Chains A and B, each alone.
Chain A
Amino acid sequence: MKSNFPEKYSIKKTDKKTLLEWYRLLFLGRTLDERAPNYLKQAIGWSYHAPAAGHDGIQLAIGQNFKKNKDHLFPYYRDLQTCVSAGMTAEEVIYNGISKDADVAGGGRHMSNHLAKPEWNIHNVSSATGNHTLHASGLGRALKTYKENDAVVISSQGESSVSEGYVYEAINGASREKLPVVFVFQDNGYGISVPKEDQTANRKVAHNFEGFKNLRIIYCNGKDVFDSMNAMEEAVSWAKKEQSPVVVHANCVRIGSHSNSDRHELYRDENELNYVKEYDPLAKYKRMLLRYEKATEDELKEIEEKVTKEVKDAHKKAIKAADPKPESIHDFVIPEPYKSEKYPDGLHKGEGNSIKLIEALNGTLKAEFRHNPDTYLWGQDIANKDKGGVFNVSKGMQQEFGKHRVFNAPIAEDYIMGTANGMSRYNKKIRIVVEGAEFADYFWPAMEQYVETTHEYWRTKGQFSPNITIRLASGGYIGGGLYHSQTTEGALATFPGIRVVYPSFADDAAGLLRTSMRSEGLTLFLEPKALYNSPKAASVVPDDFEVPFGKARVRREGDKMTIITYGNTTHMCLEAAEKMSKEDGLEVEVIDIRSLIPLDKETILKSLEKTSRALVVHEDKVFGGFGGELAAIIADEAFELLDAPVKRLGAEFTPIGFNRILEAAALPNTEKVLKAARELAAY
């Protein structure tokens, strides 16, 4: 295809040295690609392999246009040739294929054929195809923010994955923010067995984006080395010069099956299988080298022999290389957090005036933004003149720190999360706070990025840590119903790779937020919105207060039973305990765990040594709630201490109704806590 961009490269214009180096790379990529299935046949590994054959032209061009340690590249699972062209060696590719500890993507932790080299900015991406487009936009934002005008982000994916909603969010955001990102669609006509006409109405999915402002679209023949090189060079230089995004739509063929778990002969006829082979980009390139006398048969043969030996040598080395050790699974789940020297237990003896929980949050955010110039905050509705979020938690921040550090996001929760993931890849100094959604219950569209981001540190074997605090205004008691009054931590706390905190007082909110924003890693910071302005959650907050993760706080001492709680219900438990003291003469210990993950088991178990009775209370549903874990831990580790079964109290297993009568019926309250506590005391 002859497209509308300059033709810098052609068989006649390109020098022989470059042409032969391209042949070497193409032959190396193809040799590895063809060798991959043998490892599975011999039960050595590479059990996931998506062949690159047929995409060779565009993949060579992507790799050649990527400048390591300067640009950023997000290859997808079919991009073996891309990574070879970008400079990855045969050895590195095979280590990844057979999941060795030396695999530079992450020591065999991620699926095979998911090639990466974070050290060079070749990013380790998800198997959830296309979700790295959001990361690419986030990194594009970082390049723009840090004025790296000579760098670009290249994101690559198959055409069928463009059907994912988040791809539209990513490109919409890149278009709106004018981000230097090149989105490459490698179009081979299929998503596994699904023909592209089942994905979208336009045959060329890039047509779907033609109305996007600031976005250039370039079409090329991904099977042709020269057309692909010209297209990619134009795309990269245009994105840098104009500081705007580009879509490169490259038509390819898929010569093989989708992957080794697919049998394409079940849905492709012989004619098609023959003509895609006839359009093999490598064969075409070789014919052209010979036809235009850019190389002799002997020269090409010499290259082929050298590559074959290189791959054989790499194979021998890789086979002998160490496997990851089973005991290493617990390494790199989450980075070590910031350590508080002044407040190692997260307690203080501050004196003075109490402030509200919302003031504590606002003040801590501002203090941390002053402390670290590489902090950023974005979310929905968080910064417009005097408004700073629906609850005004971020009030005044944009005025003080500017629009490049504090800004509104589109109503696209996945984009909010995904761009945080992407931007935090830029450097380790960056700390991002996102309001993941206007209310916690609106966070669900971001779940795929939430899950994805919990994997990053582990999957890269500690090479990339998303340093993000996700703030969510959580919980009920405001008459908000579905999407405004539900609690979500039961579901959100099930993923390794994230810390979950849920304060109930102003001082703990400030201390935990400071620790989150100073720590590496991902923290879910749940804010009991019903307590933002509540006098009972107000407290004295030292200016520099810090609460380490995994440190519970005994809010009231007692010997009859231990109530273990957090968030909104801490206050109900304290009220119930006071009543029991006055009316029943029983002293109840109330532990506010503050931090669900990591959990301070020690404080809980120590308390049970004294009380022998445990009541677990939270606002979330009893069934499937985090209290189930607490009860199970107590049963496992403190059964001998107990004089009664562990009792649990929380919301009913129903959605939360909008009518306040319905809400009250579903949620726990002081009376319900009191009733449960009395039952437990009487056991």
Chain B
Amino acid sequence: MKKIGIFYSFRSHKTKQQVKKMIKHLGEKNVEQVDVDVASHKDFEKFENYIFAVPTWFDGELPNYWDEFLPTIEDDSLKGKTFALFGGGDQKGYPENFVDGLGIMADFIEKRGGEVVGFTSVEGYQFEASMAQRGDQFVGLALDIENQAALTEERIEKWIKEVEKAFNAKNK
């Protein structure tokens, strides 16, 4: 398997714990962790497979560190690159914008020719609207540690297996 670049903010402790679980499944040698806060174009271009941790902030926004990184790759073609997205949201507190960040990121990637994999079912969540929703699926893994913390581990385990399969299939 080609190395997967896992991009997230190293300042986010919750995300770090979630990433750890993913690495446990994928194997340390198969991944490289990249801190989005300081990531450069060089850090980005060396991968073909990516996992982006994209939590949703405020009423449906990307965190600053993503806003600040994305211009680095805004002129790139992402054709041939594959992305899996996960991120936290709060379906009770922000039901109108639940995990919007995933949807915003998926749009950004797809507009530049990249492929997003690892869609998950919206079943089991209660929310009003989400930019991450396409039909009956999210464009990535939605985690809600505010309201469904007990489901997080199981959701990650299930999702990462699917993501691994998708990456492998692309790499054949």
Contacts and interface: CB of A to CB of B under 8 A. Distances in A.
B96 A203 contact: yes
Interface stretch (A171-179, A284-292, A611-619): A284-292
A287 B38 CA distance: 11
Interface in A249-293: 251, 253, 278-279, 284, 287-288, 291-292
B123 interface: no
Contacts of B67: 221, 224, 284
Interface in B54-105: 57-62, 64, 67-68, 71, 74-75, 94, 96-97, 100, 104
A69 interface: no
A11 B74 CA distance: 10
Given A10-B74, A12-B74, A1 B61 contact: yes
Contacts of B68: 284, 287-288, 291
B10 interface: no
Interface residues of B, number: 19
Nearest to B97: A203
Q: Chain A CB within 10 Å — which of B57, B94, B108 has the most?
A: B57
Contacts, number: 43
Contact of B94 (A1, A203, A284, A292): A203
Contacts of B96: 202-204, 207
Contact of B104 (A2, A207, A292): A2
User: Is the contact region of chain A dominated by helix, strand, or loop, or is it mixed?
Assistant: loop
Interface residues of A, number: 21
B107 interface: yes
Interface in A501-533: none
A26 B47 CA distance: 37
Interface in A419-437: none
Interface string B23-57: 00000000000000000000000000000000001
Nearest to B96: A203
A207 B62 CA distance: 20
Nearest to A202: B96
Contacts of A279: 57-58, 64
A1 B71 contact: no
Contacts of B100: 1
Given A1-B104, A2-B108, A204-B59, A12 B64 contact: no
B74 A284 contact: no
A271 to B, nearest CB: 13
Contacts of B57: 279
Given A203-B94, A278-B64, A12 B104 contact: no
A217 B97 CA distance: 17
Interface string A1-39: 110000000111000000000000000000000000000
Nearest to B70: A2
- 6 nearest interchain CB pairs? A1-B61, A11-B71, A2-B104, A203-B96, A12-B71, A203-B59
Given A1-B62, A204-B59, A291-B68, 15 more contacts: A1-B61, A10-B74, A11-B71, A12-B75, A202-B96, A203-B59, A224-B67, A251-B59, A253-B58, A278-B64, A284-B67, A284-B68, A287-B68, A288-B68, A288-B71
Interface of B: 57-62, 64, 67-68, 71, 74-75, 94, 96-97, 100, 104, 107-108
22 contacts: A1-B100, A2-B62, A2-B104, A2-B107, A2-B108, A10-B71, A12-B74, A187-B59, A202-B96, A203-B97, A204-B59, A207-B96, A221-B61, A251-B58, A253-B58, A278-B64, A279-B57, A284-B67, A287-B68, A288-B68, A288-B71, A291-B68
Interface of A: 1-2, 10-12, 187, 202-204, 207, 221, 224, 251, 253, 278-279, 284, 287-288, 291-292
